[in-house]
């Protein structure tokens, strides 16, 4: 049997050594990269936990809110700054009232409009978050917000209206703190007294007098539904301008109030009639039904 020439044997040995070295190098790289990525991931989580801890420690103390009403809010300060930049004098109308001084159907309308599961979550409504994400994926666009009433209060009291992830993170931390220190009734009372209801109008009492010339206690069912319907766009959906979006949303709120037993059928019919008179149009049940179909159940 003929043997290979020395040059062929040398080349074969070199090839085998090269393969062995390549395999060993790949193994070494794999050994180094696996734990390396794990360390990076662990480091990232530790940094996130550290940031959350630092930010939580730096959050404002919300315990005084148990008994004290805030003199101003971050949103009021932001709106005042915006007015000054536009060359206008800042306008603030606000009058603090207890929940007992607000017509019950108005409070119910606000809850149905903004946070129907308010008493069943601890600050974040994960069911609503999931529904909002599913809607966004289904429609291939950013859908409705999923902020609870407590989250909105945290933003109004301490943060700005920007949509950065940093602001959202702080909002969630503040939400947890508010829920830890305050009762649901106190959170609700603070919310209805600081939320924006038009340019320079804050709180339900000022809103009732500004838009309808009555106290919060004297608001009719239809008026309460309109004020609740304003909340997604309080500086654009003004009753005096009779926007169609406000009429439709108020009609939806009235229907849900009846459906959930918050008002009687007679009250609902009377309120729908008042709503139609206010906007100067005949009742439009088709539009209301269509609007209801677009809203998630229980939201």
pLDDT, tens digit only, all 299 positions of the chain: 444 454 444 445 444 544 444 454 444 444 444 556 777 767 766 766 666 666 666 788 999 999 999 999 999 999 999 999 999 999 999 999 999 999 999 999 999 999 999 999 988 877 766 665 565 555 554 444 568 999 999 999 999 777 777 878 889 999 999 999 999 999 999 999 999 999 999 999 999 999 999 999 999 999 999 999 999 999 999 999 999 999 999 999 999 999 999 999 999 999 999 999 999 988 655 444 444 444 444 43
| HSE-up of residue 228 (Cα within 13 Å, Cβ side) | 32
- Whether 129 is in a domain gets the answer yes
Alpha-carbon span 115 to 35, nearest angstrom? 45
Which domain CATH number covers 123? 1.10.3810.10
Contact 136, 143 (CB under 8 A): yes
Tokens found for residue 238: 């003004």
- Whether 284 is in a domain gets the answer yes
Alpha-carbon span 240 to 238, nearest angstrom? 5
- Quote the number of domains for the chain: 1
Q: In sequence order, what are the beta bridge partners of 196? A: 202
SS3 286: helix
pTM (predicted TM-score):
0.76
Q: Locate all alpha helices (DSSP H) within 59-125, ordered by sequence.
A: 74-85, 104-114
- Whether 159 is in a domain gets the answer yes
- Whether 243 is in a domain gets the answer yes
Residue ranges making up the domain that contains 285:
50-58+73-78+96-294
Indicate the DSSP class of residue 235: T
- Whether 269 is in a domain gets the answer yes
């Amino acid at each position: 049997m003929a043997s290979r020439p020395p040059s062929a044997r040398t080349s074969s040995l070199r090839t085998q050594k090269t393969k062995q070295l390549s395999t060993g190098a790949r193994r070494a790289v794999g050994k180094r990269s696996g734990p390396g990525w794990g360390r990076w991931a662990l480091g990232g989580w530790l940094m996130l936990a550290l940031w959350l801890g630092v930010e939580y420690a730096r959050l404002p103390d919300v315990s005084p809110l148990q008994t004290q009403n805030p003199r101003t809010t971050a949103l009021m300060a932001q709106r005042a700054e915006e007015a000054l930049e536009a060359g206008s004098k800042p306008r603030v109308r606000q009058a603090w009232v207890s929940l007992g001084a607000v017509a019950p159907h108005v409070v119910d309308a606000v809850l149905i409009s903004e946070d129907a599961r308010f008493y069943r979550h601890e600050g974040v409504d994960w069911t609503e978050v999931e529904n909002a994400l599913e809607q966004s994926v289904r429609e291939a666009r950013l859908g409705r917000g999923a902020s609870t009433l407590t989250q909105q209060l945290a933003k109004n009291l301490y943060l700005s209206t920007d949509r950065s992830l940093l602001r959202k993170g702080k909002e969630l931390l503040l939400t947890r703190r508010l829920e830890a220190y305050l009762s649901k009734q106190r959170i609700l009372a603070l919310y209805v007294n600081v939320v924006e209801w038009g340019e320079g109008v804050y709180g339900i009492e000022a809103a009732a007098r500004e838009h309808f010339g009555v106290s919060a206690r004297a608001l009719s069912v239809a008026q309460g539904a309109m004020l609740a319907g304003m909340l997604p766009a309080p500086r654009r959906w003004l009753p005096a301008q009779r926007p169609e979006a406000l009429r439709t949303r108020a009609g939806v709120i009235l229907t849900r109030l009846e459906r959930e037993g918050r008002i009687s059928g007679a009250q609902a019919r009377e309120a729908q009639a008042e709503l139609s008179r206010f906007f100067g149009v005949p009742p439009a049940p088709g539009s209301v039904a269509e609007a209801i179909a677009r809203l998630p159940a229980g939201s």
